[in-house]
Structure 1
Amino acid sequence: MSTMRAMRRLKPDPVPDELLERLIQAAVWGPSGGNMQRYEYVLVTDPDVMARLAPLWQRCVDAYLATTGKYAPEGMDEAAYGRMVAAIEYQRDHFAETPALVIPCYRMPEQQPDEAGLRASAQALGADAVQELARIQPRFTALAEGSCMYPGVQNLLLAARALGLAANITIWHLMLEREWKQVLGIPEDMRTFAAIPVGWPVGNFGPVRRRPVSEVIHRNAW
């Protein structure tokens, strides 16, 4: 964990299918809300498909760098930030050579409302809380889906690190999700949660730079 950098510079060498399947297996071992296991994983290794995705990736990265990625965050070393941006640009310019790409997907099941259950839930929460829940429902749903997917994604990243593979999680593809789905044939009602390039690293792993634990703990209250 302490040496699992976001590795964006990848060799074009192929990754054996057996190793890629081990990454997906690690992801599947992650927890799933209600144990519903509604996840699916699109695994891209075909160079022709990757070449079709490369222009979409470039547009997403350029859009990111034009806004959020333009300035170093407060407190971050400018030189370190410059190296990160250079790595992002390298990955953008060499995306068509990416050996493998994993797209984690999730489809929330359609559920008929249970009137008795809704009344019991409202009684347990109270009127004010029910009103607040209705206000934040889109966020609640998004987090519910994310909680079913991102633990598995972290498992995948850790498994990649253990196998000596480079990987990094991105969500930039969401800026053009419709186009990505069209290229990959992903059903319209299936949500995508990341685009994870995977390959053999050009550079070295770790150590990561993070805030000290003493700065982020709030004991018993904020």
Structure 2
Amino acid sequence: MNTESTQAAEVSADARALFSTMSTMRAMRRLRPEPVPDETLEQLIQAAVWGPSGGNMQCYEYVVVTDREVMARLAPLWKRCVDAYLATTGKYAPKGMDDAAYGRMVAAIEYQRDHFADTPALVVPCYRFPEPRIEEEGLVAYAQALGPAGVEHMTNTQTRFQTLAEGSCVYPGVQNLLLAARALGLAANVTIWHLMLEQEWKEALGIPEDMQTFAAVPIGWPKGNFGPVRRRPVADVIHRDRW
């Protein structure tokens, strides 16, 4: 086999492995209590750090919780957030999901809630967006580029824009972490329920006031089996060239 054929075969094998990982990366909420080695957790954070970073600013930080006493103190907060979710947003099955499947998902959420103190590891991704440094000349160019309507729109949506800017610097890394966990045989699921009580979570974990938190990711060895994810068909979600 020549060099080009060898490289093509390697790329094909890598692609198959990646697509297999993505297509079987279900949210796994039933975790065994056995600890995850520190070196494995560091591999997950390394994968997260390899994610894209807006402006290459790399202003992310990751709180990794493995201490059982800390996890036990977080368990009541987790329960309150999950109960609030299940009482409101999570009360009914989303469109297109049958009641039986939704019931299984809720049962898994409740299991994780009731056994949260036994969670082997929890990762909380954080980000502190730096203050922009824009000189007057830059502001003039900014206004000229957007025009009056564009400047007004940005003024009215600045909070949303900054939140999305921060999120775009964090969530690609979180996805890398989830992919790495699946590849290593670990179960994980990404949640943002903690944001309902974010201040209390930050106080419990000593996270600085000016640091924003973006997720809480429980991680451990799975009790169940990985399987294919259930998603909408690609043909139903593509809009080619325009809506």
Residues 1:175 and 2:196 are matched in the alignment: yes
Tell me what 2:16 maps to. Answer: none
Tell me what 2:109 maps to. Answer: 88
Give the secondary-structure state (helix, strand or coil) at the position aligned to 2:23: coil
Distance 2:52 2:208 in 1: 24
- Structure 1 runs (4+) deviating above 3 angstroms are none
Could you report, residue by residue, the CA deviation over 1:40-66 in whole angstroms, capped at 9, with x for unpaired residues? 000000000000000000000000000
Q: 1:128 aligns with which of 145, 149, 174?
A: 149
Tell me what 2:185 maps to. Answer: 164
After superposition, the CA RMSD in angstroms is: 0.6
Aligned length: 222
Aligned partner letter, 1:59: R
Residues 1:3 and 2:24 are matched in the alignment: yes
Distance 1:56 1:113 in 2: 40
Give the secondary-structure state (helix, strand or coil) at the position aligned to 2:97: coil
Give the secondary-structure state (helix, strand or coil) at the position aligned to 2:228: coil
Distance 1:87 1:183 in 2: 25
Higher Cα radius of gyration? 2
Distance 1:70 1:172 in 2: 14
TM-score by length of 2: 0.90
1:167 deviates by 0.3
1:110 deviates by 1.8
Aligned partner letter, 2:60: Y
Which runs of no fewer than 5 residues in structure 1 stay unpaired?
none
Aligned partner letter, 2:139: L
1:31 deviates by 0.7
Give the secondary-structure state (helix, strand or coil) at the position aligned to 2:196: helix
Aligned partner letter, 1:119: V
Instruction: Answer 1 or 2: which has greater helix percent.
Output: 2
Distance 2:138 2:161 in 1: 18
TM-score by length of 1: 0.99
Matches within 5 A, 1:34-183: 34-183=55-204
Which runs of no fewer than 5 residues in structure 2 stay unpaired?
1-21
Distance 1:129 1:109 in 2: 23
Tell me what 2:205 maps to. Answer: 184
Percent of aligned pairs with the same amino acid: 79
Distance 1:124 1:143 in 2: 21
Distance 2:234 2:133 in 1: 44
Could you report, residue by residue, the CA deviation over 1:20-52 in whole angstroms, capped at 9, with x for unpaired residues? 000000000001011010000000000000000
Distance 1:91 1:115 in 2: 52
Give the secondary-structure state (helix, strand or coil) at the position aligned to 1:180: helix
Tell me what 2:18 maps to. Answer: none
